[in-house]
Amino acid sequence: MDTVQKLKAGFSLDLGPLKEPLGVIRVFTIFAFATTGGYYGSTHFKIKCPGGVDQHTDPVFGYPFRLPANPYQITLCNKSRSNETFLQGDFSSSAEFFVCVGVFGFLYCTATLILYLGYQNVYRQTSRGPIIDLVVTAAFAFLWLVCSSAWGKGLTDVKWATNPDQLILTPSCKDICEAGEFPSMGRLNASVIFGFLNMILWASNCWFIYKETPFHKDPNPPATMEEGGAPEP
């Protein structure tokens, strides 16, 4: 109860940080993982049937990109279906790592924005708050670099594994299939861009947080005349 009362007493809403880089930079975190998590797409190829209707096959895939988890069957010209076939490759580790960094980054952003907007006076009263914020922000900048690089490589592998030109080379489809439309991956391309953008923004944010720490402040300010300093010429 006492803690709640102290929090209420220390709360003072100040929207100023939203107009400064210290607060604005944090907002971009949500775009990275939101464009990856929940993605659902399909690739396309068909069997050209002489004198008949072409038979289309649309294997589906999505986050977290364990491609063999979604088997598909090829419809042949005689309307029969082939045995179950699987997309090849499990790229879930890089995708889940990327989303995990994004989620934890978003949670940290939410907590720090509450601190910046409501408890700015408490944040600046001691040096501990800005120092901890600086260390955590630098750690997230490094994590954004690692997870974006890993997911960029994973996305390249996903594109290769779902490329219709590659799928028609499988034993069940070779010589009878024709490649169709490449799956739409603009949203996933954007996720990688947002990942590296977040890395740059979080690294830049370190400078603005560093200015709030005692490391940036002069530990020995010039003495005033009242403190015995020499008068300026």
How is the chain split among helix, strand and coil, in percent rounded to 5?
55, 10, 35
More confident residue, 33 or 202: 202
pLDDT confidence band for 233 (50 / 70 / 90): very low
Q: Domain for residue 98, yes or no?
A: yes
Q: Which residues share a beta bridge with 70? A: none
Dihedral sign of CA atoms 212, 213, 214, 218 in order = negative
**174 CB burial (10 A radius; 0-12, 13-18, 19+):** exposed
Q: Domain for residue 19, yes or no?
A: yes
Q: Domain for residue 226, yes or no?
A: no
The pLDDT score that the predictor gives to residue 144 is 95
Using one digit for the tens of pLDDT, what is the confidence trace for 92-136?
999 999 999 999 998 988 888 887 776 666 666 777 778 888 899
The residue written with tokens 């979604």 in the block is 70
The tokens of 176 are what? 């009878």
- Domain range spanning residue 183? 7-214
The CATH number covering residue 26 comes to 1.20.140
Q: Domain for residue 150, yes or no?
A: yes
Amino acid type, 87: L
The pLDDT score that the predictor gives to residue 148 is 96
Q: Domain for residue 169, yes or no?
A: yes
Q: Domain for residue 97, yes or no?
A: yes
pLDDT at 26 over 70: no
Q: Domain for residue 233, yes or no?
A: no
Residues 209, 133 contacting (CB under 8 angstroms): yes
pLDDT at 177 over 90: no
222: which residues sit within 8 A by CB, 6+ positions away? 229
Using one digit for the tens of pLDDT, what is the confidence trace for 133-156?
889 999 999 999 999 999 999 999
Most confident of the ranges 28-32, 33-37, 49-53, 90-94: 90-94
Q: Domain for residue 22, yes or no?
A: yes
**46 CB burial (10 A radius; 0-12, 13-18, 19+):** buried
Q: How many domains does the chain have?
A: 1
